[in-house]
């Protein structure tokens, strides 16, 4: 039944519009977003400032070439000096580029606070515990603020406040130069350590989580480098007084810390099942990587990464489209959730409810929004990550069923789906 | 004032003034979308900030001639999803927890509410908002997205599908399911909202709201 089938639908729809409008009035339209965006952008690398329409080198005149060369030399020297300065601040480096134009101090009725250079504020980042498995790489971060008399306050009005956030530009690199992105853009530093964090200090520690390393890298210790360009402190307190009660302090800079992580490979199951083809699309589950259970580091018990090999795709298929799969699960007691109407259900791990599902594409680990097309081979490996599932017991082999009835290969407006009946029995042991 | 296209072209040339224009033009809508999905103005600001930064980072791939607003709302929706996911995993602020906090009076009131001339109407409006927020929190995330996009932003099914990255039929069903679920929640738990929205102007004090809530509380106790 559609809304229009109901005789009272127009009234209900009008009521809903009124209620949503009333609710949305609670969101003021004047905020500090513009200031915060500009502040964050001010510290982004220049290459992200985008398209440079420079003439080709050969097309430049002689003086122009000279000017460009001189500029490059100066930039090189400045960079070299900056690197030396950063290295002097090991293990974490915070140039905290607060120029004269960043001095407005606290402005009433704004949420953004910028400190004068006189405050000499700096933030030191120290990497604490680290963790890596097939579903995530997690890094415990400690922040120490220095020379500002500034502390992270505790706003009593919030239920579970965020004290600090790594706001933007957080990336992780492995020794081979592959980048991994934080799986959420703002990872908070909480006041109260989660109960699964034994022995961590209060107030200045939190976790940043990234897309997982490839399975092959989980076998050996890995040297990783984490980089931040912005930290947003929420509710800072200075001299015992909260700044306006609801203030943010943006610390912009460039913090780079290298560390070593010893991964927890968990169990990796090679799935021995034949590929199945329907309507020209072939799907084959190839591997299931199961994270170790009961990890003391993360908030969730465990997770799993399932690799699907999909072939027969059109070369211009967006890989992100395939990652955006719908799924369905039902529990052994008959409960569960229904799949989205109109979607072919993907039944994964029957009897278990994944707390979260993340589709990522191996092996590039690129964020979904940047995924390129499948390419001329028409083949891609899709990694599907389940978080928060109860892992199978090693002593009790268990058969789970993976069913996929429909594959979405293009989204609106040129929506296209491929029906089929891909169904696989996977034995977990 | 320049158009979105001009502003986007500026962004694609690396001129931050273009982004500023887009922020000024679209932040109010984006904030309300994030607020409808998250139920917290501060998280909404964070989300919109991240969304503008992401949009700026991806602006080179934006095709001139396409409408910016749904494209940007797609980014806001995706950012909200990630935020919700991480919040759930960290057992932090959820829309439900937050609405509960607002009801208990422990959350901060949005600044816009502080200037209400009529304290009774103001209190009732706060109460209504808390109730609507709770009702929204009882929808699934997908239903909430679809309902907000349809009934606040008046997007068509095709546009909702494009924003949510799903099929048109799926979007249609989410809208319908969400509407049905929202109405059911409101009828059973917050019936005065329907009575009010159908009969009473927003600023007029109403009768029966407290009674309805008390009845609900009594039923819960029983």
pLDDT single digits (tens) B24-72? 999 999 999 999 998 888 788 888 988 888 888 778 778 788 889 988 9
Q: What Å distances lie between residue A423 and A345, B59, B117, B184, CA to CA?
A: 11, 40, 63, 37
Residue B73: pLDDT band with limits 50, 70, 90: very high
Q: Are B122 and B203 in contact (CB under 8 A)?
A: no
Task: Flag if A26 and B129 touch (Cβ within 8 Å).
Answer: yes
What is the value of ipTM here, to two decimals?
A: 0.78
Count of beta carbons in the 10 Å neighbourhood of residue B20? 17
The answer, yes or no, to whether residue A358 has pLDDT greater than 90, is: no
d(CA A95, nearest CA chain B) in Å? 22
Residue A231: pLDDT band with limits 50, 70, 90: low
Q: Which two tokens stand for residue A313?
A: 């795709």
d(CA A296, nearest CA chain B) in Å? 14
Helix axes B68-89, B4-12, angle to 10 degrees: 70
Q: pLDDT of A156-182, one tens digit each?
A: 333 333 445 554 456 788 888 877 766
Q: What is the pTM of this model?
A: 0.49
Q: For residues A233 and A230, what is the distance between their CA atoms, to the nearest angstrom? A: 10
* Mean pLDDT estimate for chain A: 62
Query: Looking at chain A, which residue has its C-alpha nearest residue B74?
Result: A369
Q: Please name the residue that has the structure tokens 């389940």.
A: A386
Question: Mean per-residue pLDDT for A373-391?
Answer: 73
d(CA A163, nearest CA chain B) in Å? 12
Task: Flag if B162 and A411 touch (Cβ within 8 Å).
Answer: yes
Q: Say whether residue B212 is in contact with chain A using an 8 A CB cutoff.
A: no
Query: Looking at chain B, which residue has its C-alpha nearest residue A164?
Result: B46
Q: Give Cβ neighbours of residue A300 (< 8 Å, ≥ 6 apart).
A: A355, A387, A388, B89
Query: Looking at chain B, which residue has its C-alpha nearest residue A208?
Result: B86
Q: Say whether residue A237 is in contact with chain B using an 8 A CB cutoff.
A: no
- For residue B112, the chain A residues in CB contact (below 8 A) are 25-28
Q: For residues B53 and B30, what is the distance between their CA atoms, to the nearest angstrom? A: 13
The answer, yes or no, to whether residue B85 has pLDDT greater than 70, is: no
- For residue B108, the chain A residues in CB contact (below 8 A) are 157-158, 246
């Amino acid at each position: 039944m559609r809304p229009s089938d109901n005789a009272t639908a127009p009234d209900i729809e009008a009521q809903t519009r009124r209620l949503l409008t009333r609710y949305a009035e609670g969101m003021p339209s004047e905020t500090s977003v513009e200031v915060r965006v500009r502040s964050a952008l001010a510290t982004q690398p220049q290459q992200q400032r985008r398209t440079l329409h420079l003439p080709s080198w050969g097309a430049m005149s002689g003086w122009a070439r000279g000017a460009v060369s001189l500029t490059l030399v100066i930039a090189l020297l400045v960079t070299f000096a900056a690197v030396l300065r950063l290295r002097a601040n090991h293990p974490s480096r915070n140039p905290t580029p607060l120029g004269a134009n960043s001095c407005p101090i606290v402005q009433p009725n704004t949420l953004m606070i910028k400190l004068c250079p006189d405050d000499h504020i700096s933030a030191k980042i120290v990497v604490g515990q680290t963790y890596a498995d097939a579903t995530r790489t997690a890094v415990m971060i400690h922040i120490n603020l220095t020379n500002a008399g500034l502390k992270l306050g505790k706003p009593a009005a919030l239920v579970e406040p965020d004290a600090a956030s790594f706001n933007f530009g957080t990336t992780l690199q492995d020794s081979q130069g592959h980048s991994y992105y934080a799986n959420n853009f703002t990872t908070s530093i909480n006041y109260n350590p989660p109960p699964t964090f034994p022995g961590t200090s209060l107030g200045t520690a939190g976790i940043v989580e990234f897309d997982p390393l490839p399975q092959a890298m989980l076998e050996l210790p890995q040297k990783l480098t984490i980089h931040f360009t912005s930290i947003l402190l929420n509710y800072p307190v200075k001299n015992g007084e909260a700044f306006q009660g609801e203030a943010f302090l943006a610390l912009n800079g460039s913090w780079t810390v290298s560390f070593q992580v010893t991964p927890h490979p968990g169990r990796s199951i090679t799935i021995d099942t034949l590929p199945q083809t329907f309507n020209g699309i072939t799907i084959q589950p190839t591997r299931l990587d199961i994270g170790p259970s009961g990890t003391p580091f993360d908030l969730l018990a465990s997770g799993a990464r399932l690799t699907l090999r999909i072939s027969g795709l059109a070369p211009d298929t967006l890989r992100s489209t395939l990652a955006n799969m719908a799924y369905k699960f039902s529990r052994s007691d008959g409960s569960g959730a229904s799949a989205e109407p109109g979607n072919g259900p993907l039944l994964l791990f029957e009897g278990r409810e994944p707390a979260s599902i993340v589709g990522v594409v191996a092996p590039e680990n690129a964020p979904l929004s940047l995924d390129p097309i499948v390419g001329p081979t028409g083949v891609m490996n899709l990694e599907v990550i389940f978080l928060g599932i109860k892992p199978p017991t090693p002593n009790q082999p268990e058969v789970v069923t993976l069913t996929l009835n429909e594959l979405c290969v293009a989204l609106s407006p040129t929506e296209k789906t491929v029906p089929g009946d891909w169904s696989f029995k996977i034995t977990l042991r | 004032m320049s158009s979105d296209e001009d502003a986007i072209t500026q962004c694609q040339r690396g001129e931050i003034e273009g982004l500023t224009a887009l922020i000024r033009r679209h932040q109010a809508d984006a904030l309300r979308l994030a607020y409808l999905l998250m139920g917290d103005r501060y998280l909404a600001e964070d989300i919109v900030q991240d969304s503008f930064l992401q949009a700026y980072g991806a602006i080179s791939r934006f095709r001139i001639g396409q409408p910016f607003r749904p494209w940007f709302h797609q980014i806001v929706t995706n950012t909200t999803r990630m935020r919700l996911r991480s919040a759930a995993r960290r057992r932090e602020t959820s829309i439900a927890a937050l609405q509960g906090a607002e009801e208990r009076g422990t959350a901060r009131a949005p600044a816009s509410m502080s200037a209400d001339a009529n304290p009774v109407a103001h209190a009732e409006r706060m109460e209504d908002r808390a109730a609507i927020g709770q009702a929204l929190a009882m929808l699934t995330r997908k239903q909430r997205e679809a309902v907000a996009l349809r009934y606040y932003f008046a997007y068509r099914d095709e546009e909702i599908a494009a924003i949510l990255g799903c099929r048109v039929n799926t979007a249609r069903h989410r809208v319908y399911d969400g509407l049905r679920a929202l109405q059911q929640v409101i009828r059973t738990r917050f019936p005065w909202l329907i009575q009010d929205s159908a009969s009473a102007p927003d600023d007029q004090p109403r009768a029966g709201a407290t009674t309805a809530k008390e009845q609900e509380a009594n039923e819960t106790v029983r």
